[in-house]
Amino acid sequence: MIRHYLDEIKDLLSSYEWIRFVEIIRCDFEENDQKRILFYRFRVYLSDGSRLEMVERLVESKKDGSIYSTKYSFHWQDQHGHLIRRWDNAPHYPNLDDFPYHIHIGEDETVVPGTSINAMEMLAEVDRELSDVVEKE
């Protein structure tokens, strides 16, 4: 099941026209009697010169097959290295609603509450934003 999740991400990455190249930095599987663990880090180069860093650690329970993310960070920056947005669940903003989920926005890194998000949802959000830019031009 967890390998299927990874295959879905790879398929999605190959389906977007705005993705120029995907670099797989790390992709590890671990397994014990109770769970399977996937940890991956991808660097995704976009056609507009921006870049996505995708890091996610997922756990699949062997007992019931459920999959949940224990760590994620999806970092989107422009061609100059300035932050556009970063979705993550690092526990460093305990006073925000929906802790630990939050979003860093823009160069000044404004931090707002977020919700749990996976790679596919984040890519869909980036796709919507890039589509909005193209429509406005």
HEC readout, 37-88: EEEEEEEEEECCCCEEEEEEEEEEECCCCCEEEEEEEEEEECCCCCEEEEEE
d(CA 3, CA 15): 18
Query: In this structure, are residues 26 and 2 in contact, taking their beta carbons and an 8 Å threshold?
Result: no
End-to-end CA distance of the chain: 41
pLDDT tens, 17-27? 999 999 999 99
| Token couple for 116 | 């749990």
pLDDT tens, 11-63? 999 999 999 999 999 999 999 999 999 999 999 999 999 999 999 999 999 99
Confidence of residue 85 (pLDDT cuts 50, 70, 90): very high
| Token couple for 7 | 């295959």
d(CA 137, CA 132): 9
